[in-house]
Structure 1
């Protein structure tokens, strides 16, 4: 029980409402990822973990998913752990960041304090 049901996730991802009668396997990759996030939300978690949620998706779909994550951050009242290597998108939503290198903590702190040399070394930017 909780606030997340199909109607609520359809507000977050309107495409899912449009595709409601389709089988999951016939959805595009981006729509399948939206469905995956939606199914996780409908368990009404306190923590949502997203591991490379936009990897391999078309740029327009990536933007839609990142926008949804930003909305979740400000309105959902849950903790969100995002694992990704896209510094631009993460910078827009993350409060804190940790860079792992071969299983060890290479850097951690507020994302706006990430030194350029650390970003270049570990993220290739």
Structure 2
């Protein structure tokens, strides 16, 4: 939806801020779970595994289940953004799950390869994120 006149507002800074908020939420839960494990000697050996598992679980539920219901994550909501499919409809659980898996796989690939993709267009790498007020203005529900 880059350049789409229906969604005229710039989104890059909002999107980056929303991502940072969501990432901090996910990692915050993981750190909390790790701290709880560290507080109990019998759970201390499981601290790292519990942190990673909880981060993955929170990320998945937040970015797929909750986003399929509310059309936004906590970070996007705080930044006034929502997610749409390229046809302008609300994404469903399956669509969001596909993008969550792609994002997880891409993160691992980029981490190990040290390189990004060939495209500079953000919409080539992510589903469209637009301002919620632009969607409401168009009466998309």
Report the TM-score when normalising by structure 2. 0.24
Question: Which one scores higher on RCO, CA 8 angstroms, separation ≥ 6?
Answer: 2
Higher helix share: 2
Higher strand share: 1
Report the TM-score when normalising by structure 1. 0.26
Give the structure with higher Rg (CA).
2
